[in-house]
């Protein structure tokens, strides 16, 4: 159950205290796409996300869209948001996590994942030993494949509440 608990929990990518991540020595930010950066059914991202990523790059972060979606879906976001990408990541499997550390020549202590799903983003990140940040999903409208995950996730949230005192909407750093 410990693998399901995020290191940080925030409302959205806009409320994350990035300076705190910086102070922890984190330089590589792996962002989930669907329901983290953009609602799962949308084909474009908001201009505000582009501004945020621009600011993050100015602060010295490397920003990567780290998604389980196919490259065909991820590529337009990568182009518009002017950040690099990795599609078909198969989170929570570890192969792509390892690939990212190698590609960006960094280590797990300097890397964070930011995502909306416990079973892919948070479990994968915790297993990889990187810093994990959970955000609320942007919409409840999900891909069919994630419905089952959401059902299981509900049960996990209940257990996290009982065992760790984790509550949805009770944000922490
Ligand atoms: Mg997601």
CA 133 – CA 135 distance, rounded (Å): 7
How remote is the CA of residue 114 from the centroid of ligand 1, in Å? 9
Q: Assign residue 16 the CATH number of its domain.
A: 3.40.50.1000
Q: What is the pLDDT of residue 130?
A: 98
Averaged pLDDT of the chain: 94
| pTM given for the model | 0.94
How remote is the CA of residue 135 from the centroid of ligand 1, in Å? 9
Backbone angles phi, psi at 36, to 5 degrees: -110, -55
If you compute the radius of gyration of the chain from its CA atoms, what whole number of angstroms results? 15
Q: Judge whether 49 and 37 are in contact, CB under 8 Å.
A: yes
Is pLDDT at 165 greater than 60 in this prediction? yes
Q: Which long-range contacts (CB under 8 A, 24 or more apart) does 75-80 make?
A: 76/43, 76/44, 77/33, 77/37, 77/38, 77/44, 77/45, 80/44, 80/45, 80/50
How remote is the CA of residue 116 from the centroid of ligand 1, in Å? 5
How remote is the CA of residue 37 from the centroid of ligand 1, in Å? 8
pLDDT in tens, 131-151: 999 999 998 766 555 677 778
Q: Which of 123, 112, 115 is nearest to 152 (CA)?
A: 123
Asked if the structure places residue 159 within a domain, the reply is yes
pLDDT in tens, 59-114: 999 999 999 999 999 999 999 999 999 999 999 999 999 999 999 999 999 999 99
Q: Which of 2, 31, 7 is nearest to 171 (CA)?
A: 7
Asked if the structure places residue 171 within a domain, the reply is no
How remote is the CA of residue 35 from the centroid of ligand 1, in Å? 5
pLDDT in tens, 35-68: 999 998 889 999 999 999 999 999 999 999 999 9
How remote is the CA of residue 121 from the centroid of ligand 1, in Å? 8
How remote is the CA of residue 146 from the centroid of ligand 1, in Å? 9
Domain that holds residue 104: 2-164
pLDDT in tens, 1-41: 889 999 999 999 999 999 999 999 999 999 999 999 999 88
Asked if the structure places residue 173 within a domain, the reply is no
Asked if the structure places residue 76 within a domain, the reply is yes
Q: How many domains are contained in the chain?
A: 1
Q: Buried b vs exposed e over 1-29: b needs ≥16 C-beta within 10 Å?
A: eeebbbbbbbeebeebebeebeeeebbbb
Q: What is the pLDDT of residue 76?
A: 97
Q: Judge whether 161 and 167 are in contact, CB under 8 Å.
A: yes
How remote is the CA of residue 158 from the centroid of ligand 1, in Å? 20
Asked if the structure places residue 62 within a domain, the reply is yes
Asked if the structure places residue 170 within a domain, the reply is no
How remote is the CA of residue 138 from the centroid of ligand 1, in Å? 9
- Which bin fits 148, alpha (ψ -120 to 50), beta or left (φ > 0)? alpha
Q: Where are the beta strands (DSSP E) in 87-165?
A: 111-115, 131-135
Asked if the structure places residue 120 within a domain, the reply is yes
């Amino acid at each position: 159950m410990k693998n399901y608990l995020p290191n940080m929990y925030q409302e959205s990518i806009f409320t994350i205290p990035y300076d705190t991540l910086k102070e922890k020595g984190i330089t590589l930010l792996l962002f989930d796409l669907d329901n983290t950066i953009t609602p799962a059914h949308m084909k474009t991202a908001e201009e505000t996300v582009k501004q945020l990523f621009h600011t993050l790059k100015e602060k010295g972060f490397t920003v990567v869209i780290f998604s389980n979606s196919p490259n065909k879906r991820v590529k337009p976001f990568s182009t518009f948001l002017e950040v690099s990408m990795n599609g078909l990541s198969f989170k929570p499997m570890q192969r792509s996590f390892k690939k990212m550390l190698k590609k960006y020549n960094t280590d797990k202590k300097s890397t964070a994942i930011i995502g909306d799903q416990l079973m892919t983003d948070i479990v994968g990140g915790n297993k990889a030993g990187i810093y994990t940040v959970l955000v609320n999903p942007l919409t409840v409208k999900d891909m069919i494949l994630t419905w089952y995950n959401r059902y299981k996730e509900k049960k996990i949230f209940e257990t996290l509440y009982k065992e760790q005192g984790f509550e949805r909407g009770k944000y922490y750093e």
